[in-house]
Amino acid sequence: MRCSPFNVAAPEEGSSKLRRLPLYIRPLPDEALFSWGWRLARRFEWNLSTLARDGWGVRDPLSPDWWARPAGELLSALEARTGEERTELRRMTLLDWAPVVRDDECSSRFAGWRFEAHPPEERERGLAVCTACLSGDRAPYLRRTWLIGWVAVCEAHGCALLTRCPECRRSLRVPRPGSNAPFVASRCARCSADLTQAESQCAPEEICRLHKILLTGKRTGQTELRGIGALAWPEVVTLFDVLVGAIWEEMTVTDRLAAIAQVVNDGCLYGRFRIDVSRDRLGSLMLLGWLLNDWPRNLESSQVAGVVRGWMRARTRRVSRKCSSPQPADEKGCLESQRTISTNFAEHWQSASSRDPQRGATDHATTG
Ligand SMILES: [Zn+2]
Ligand SMILES: [Zn+2]
């Protein structure tokens, strides 16, 4: 059996004498700790799991999210082992971003398939990359934002992120930390195709705008959605679960297809973009963009309106449980978010109705 490449034992808990690793590579702009670890592990001809466990002292290197929010003692160990400054290490994580709420960072989070009953182990950790960014990299690497499962657009290039391999056509996936296959960010982990050869596709402007608002919300914890107002990040996630859940969980198949057809027609989506609103990141944001556009005027004329109205009127409001994590705090936060959202819903609906007496009469008739 091969020895650890570091020739050191895993650092003991509380140990103040952690030895510096013999190799160092500089983190690249907006690089994820996950990606930096993989690049460093390759220099040792090892996988990320071994580097994390033996070199950095990560207790469970196979857990998918240790890199995103490392505990303070792990940051201290990383500082001692790598020689990298703590502020730089934090910059490679999501420690300063809004915490995970209702599993909001997982793959294709707002896509329809997430509202179906898939057990967690069947969910593959999908990856999306910007081919324009990778083409310009001297050493290809993964940006932090690409590892958040609903991020669909490159902020620098304004193009849709690539989620499928141009060769094998299968979805891109985040390499497992224990994989012995060499990891290169610009190549498909399944067939090694060069991802930079894929044609990049401009994202629609309205989706870039929504995407920017969402990324600000994830970074700062606060969003400002036109027509809805200021919402904290957990409220945004709950709002989206109500809207998208209305389509995928509350509607009959016939009504759902009619609603999606309306989205497609209104946005002329299939003429310009090849999207799948039930599965992919860009498609799910397009659906959300359509639901939120000109709120609540747009929604009122759609098939979704009745379901959302029903949600507002219900004594016990339901939000998809399939999308939440099993943490009790998540459920509590969700209940608090529901109260804020339903107040916001009612206020905006009422003010939109008072601007349009005809609709006010209709609204009164349906909500009375
Ligand atoms: Zn880019
Ligand atoms: Zn491939």
- Identify which ligand lies nearest to the alpha carbon of 133: 1
Q: 339-366: per-residue pLDDT in tens?
A: 777 777 677 666 666 655 444 434 433 3
* pLDDT for position 321: 64
**Between 271 and 132, where is the model more confident?**
132
Q: How confident is the model at residue 251, as a pLDDT?
A: 79
Q: Helix, strand, or coil here: 30?
A: coil
Between the CA of 192 and the centroid of ligand 1 the distance, in Å, is: 20
368 pLDDT band, cuts 50/70/90, is very low
The environment of the single-atom ion ligand 2, i.e. residues with CB closer than 5 A, is 165, 167-168, 188, 190-191, 193
- 165 alpha carbon to ligand 2 midpoint, in Å? 5
How far is the centre of ligand 2, averaged over its atoms, from the C-alpha of 188 (Å)? 5
Cα of 190 vs centre of ligand 2, distance in Å, is 5
Cα 201 to middle of ligand 1, angstroms: 11
Q: Which uninterrupted H or E stretch holds 159?
A: strand 159-160
pLDDT tops 70 at residue 83: yes
d(CA 135, CA 130): 9
Q: So what's the pLDDT on residue 291?
A: 79
* Ligand nearest, relative to CA of residue 194: 2
Ligand 2 center to 185 CA (angstroms): 12
Could you say which ligand is closest to the alpha carbon of residue 190? 2
- Summarize the confidence of residues 192-216 as an average pLDDT: 91
Token pair in block for residue 256: 């759902």
Closest ligand relative to 145 C-alpha = 1
What's the whole-number mean pLDDT along residues 159-178?
Answer: 90
Convert the pLDDT of each residue in 20-52 to its tens digit: 888 888 999 999 999 999 999 999 888 999 999
pLDDT at 248: 82
pLDDT digits (tens, 9 = 90+) for 115-156: 775 545 545 578 999 999 999 999 999 999 998 999 999 999
- Mean per-residue pLDDT for 67-95? 93
Q: Which helix (H) or strand (E) holds 223?
A: strand 222-225
Which residue intervals of the chain are DSSP H helices?
A: 33-43, 48-50, 72-82, 86-91, 131-136, 205-220, 233-245, 253-267, 269-272, 281-292, 297-300, 304-313, 328-355, 357-367
Structure tokens at 214: 């969402």
